[in-house]
């Protein structure tokens, strides 16, 4: 499916701004973004409930915009289930077949096959009000799939369920996707949901697609500071590029394809002083950028790390707040400011860095690091990112 420069306004308000996406056949593709960014509107355009002001939507190369929803072979599962309350589970699922005047003898085996797919075999005779939220959503999924659409559109289908059930249903959805192999387009504002099931994700904000990539790409190399901020926890700093060297040997062979060039850049930040970071984007001395490093990439220790590696960033600080949660501790570390920065700010600004330490085994010193401890923070140039080039 190809979406090309699709734009949509409601009155003066531009909800979608030249959105372009290529979605592969059979892919589990997620549209991820905060509430109001235009996800549902894009889904409704794909489904045919809304038409774009301009742009193109094609399935298998054919323009579908002139087609009404029922001729697009794209069925939608909504958050509120939209079941027929007076019909049984069986009749809800059979409904699309009856509309299509399917031969009576074929309806029952087919409905049972789809009830089995969503694990509702024993519930065929029940009415929707006798079902739990998760079961209702499964009926909706079976009903959307029974016509064998080319695409299943899911608009925040799990948001009405409680957290534990949501996890469970997500795994089931993934299994259903694997079994039937059609394209799923999954809308969510929940980054954990999107990261855990998607083949690829499009991150949206204010009607724009900011980045399309695998969960790993989106998490590990966010294209903009919005993406970095929206996915997971981060530390962000404004910085100025002071030096750039081309690397002969890439440090990230797994992420960077062999033909891309990698650079080691040196940044100056008001809060931390000098930072080393690798980047595949060309940056130049003098450019203003945003630098980010994820909390779990930072190594925290009471002893000074002994490594002599050139690419390690090392800072000293004091534990401002440890938040213990069993499997990990999140620390807020107050950083000792570089001399130059301390000179400039007569009143010392408090710079906090977030660090997350997983507690892997009993010899782990993480839980022993407590409030007011002096600690070292270190991370390699590979673990930070330049996420926004400003000028």
Which residues sit at the interface with ligand ADP, rule CB under 6 A?
Answer: 10, 15, 33, 35-41
Burial of 245 (0-12, 13-18, 19+ CB in 10 A): exposed
How near is the Cβ of 39 to ligand ADP at its closest, in Å? 3
How near is the Cβ of 179 to ligand ADP at its closest, in Å? 28
Interaction partner, residue 258 (Mg ion, ligand ADP, none; CB < 5-8 Å by kind): none
Burial of 362 (0-12, 13-18, 19+ CB in 10 A): exposed
Interaction partner, residue 15 (Mg ion, ligand ADP, none; CB < 5-8 Å by kind): ligand ADP
The set of residues, in sequence order, having a beta carbon less than 8 Å from that of 2 and lying 6+ positions away, is: 21, 22, 23, 56, 57, 58
Torsion on CA atoms 244, 246, 252, 256, rounded to nearest 10: 100
Interaction partner, residue 137 (ligand ADP, Mg ion, none; CB < 5-8 Å by kind): none
Nearest to 21 by CA among 239, 253, 211: 211
Q: Are strands 235-246 and 288-293 parallel, antiparallel or unpaired?
A: antiparallel
> Tokens 């009903």 sit at which residue?
143
Interaction partner, residue 253 (Mg ion, ligand ADP, none; CB < 5-8 Å by kind): none
Nearer to Mg ion, 40 or 329 (CB): 40
Interaction partner, residue 37 (Mg ion, ligand ADP, none; CB < 5-8 Å by kind): ligand ADP
What is the C-alpha separation between 212 and 206, in angstroms, rounded? 15
243's tokens: 């030096």
How many CB atoms within 10 Å of residue 358? 10
Nearer to ligand ADP, 96 or 207 (CB): 207
What is the C-alpha separation between 295 and 285, in angstroms, rounded? 27
Q: Are 234 and 292 in contact (CB under 8 A)?
A: yes
Nearer to Mg ion, 40 or 76 (CB): 40
Sign of CA dihedral 309, 312, 314, 319: negative
Nearer to ligand ADP, 10 or 54 (CB): 10
- Judged by CB under 5 A, which of 1, 19, 40, 204 binds Mg ion? 40
Site for Mg ion in 350-379 (CB under 5 A): none
Interaction partner, residue 322 (ligand ADP, Mg ion, none; CB < 5-8 Å by kind): none
Nearer to ligand ADP, 42 or 353 (CB): 42
Nearer to ligand ADP, 119 or 208 (CB): 208
Nearer to ligand ADP, 33 or 322 (CB): 33
What is the C-alpha separation between 133 and 20, in angstroms, rounded? 34
How near is the Cβ of 40 to Mg ion at its closest, in Å? 3
How near is the Cβ of 16 to ligand ADP at its closest, in Å? 8
Site for Mg ion in 319-348 (CB under 5 A): none
Nearer to ligand ADP, 33 or 157 (CB): 33
How many CB atoms within 10 Å of residue 224? 17
Interaction partner, residue 227 (ligand ADP, Mg ion, none; CB < 5-8 Å by kind): none
How near is the Cβ of 386 to Mg ion at its closest, in Å? 32
Residues near Mg ion (CB under 5 A) are 40
């Amino acid at each position: 499916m190809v979406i090309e420069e699709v734009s949509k306004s409601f009155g003066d308000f531009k909800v979608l701004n030249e959105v372009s996406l290529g979605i592969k056949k059979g892919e589990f593709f997620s549209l991820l973004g905060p509430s109001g960014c235009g996800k549902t509107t894009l889904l409704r355009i794909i489904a045919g409930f809304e038409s774009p002001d301009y742009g193109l939507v094609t399935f298998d190369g054919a323009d579908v915009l002139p087609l009404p929803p029922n001729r697009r072979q794209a069925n939608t599962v909504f958050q509120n289930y939209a079941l027929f309350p007076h019909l049984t589970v069986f009749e809800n699922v059979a409904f699309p077949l009856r509309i299509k005047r399917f031969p009576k003898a074929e309806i029952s085996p087919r409905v049972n096959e789809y009830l089995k797919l969503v694990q509702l075999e024993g519930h065929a005779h029940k009415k929707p009000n006798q079902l739990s939220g998760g079961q209702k959503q499964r009926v909706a999924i079976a009903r959307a799939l029974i016509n064998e659409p080319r695409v299943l559109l899911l608009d925040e289908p799990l948001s009405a369920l409680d957290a534990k059930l949501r996890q469970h249903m997500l795994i089931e959805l993934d299994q259903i996707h694997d079994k039937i192999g059609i394209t799923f387009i999954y809308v969510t504002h929940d980054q954990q949901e999107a990261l855990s099931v998607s083949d690829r994700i499009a991150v949206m904000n204010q009607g724009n697609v900011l980045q399309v990539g695998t969960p790993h790409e989106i998490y590990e190399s966010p294209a903009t500071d919005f993406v970095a901020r929206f996915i997971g926890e981060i530390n962000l700093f404004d910085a100025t590029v002071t030096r750039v060297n081309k690397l002969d040997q890439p440090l990230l062979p797994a992420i960077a394809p062999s033909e891309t060039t990698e650079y080691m850049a040196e940044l100056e930040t008001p809060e931390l002083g000098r930072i080393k970071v690798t980047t595949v984007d060309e940056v130049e001395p003098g450019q203003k950028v945003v630098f980010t490093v994820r909390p779990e990439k930072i190594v925290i220790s009471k002893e000074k790390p002994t490594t002599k590696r050139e690419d390690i960033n090392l800072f000293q600080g004091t534990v401002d707040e440890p938040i213990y949660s069993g499997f990990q501790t999140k620390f807020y570390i107050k950083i000792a400011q570089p001399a130059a920065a301390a000179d400039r700010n007569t009143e010392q600004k408090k710079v906090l860095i977030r660090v997350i330490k997983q507690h892997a085994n009993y010899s782990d010193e993480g839980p022993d690091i407590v409030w007011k401890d002096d600690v070292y923070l270190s991370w390699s140039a590979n673990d930070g990112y330049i996420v926004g080039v400003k000028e």
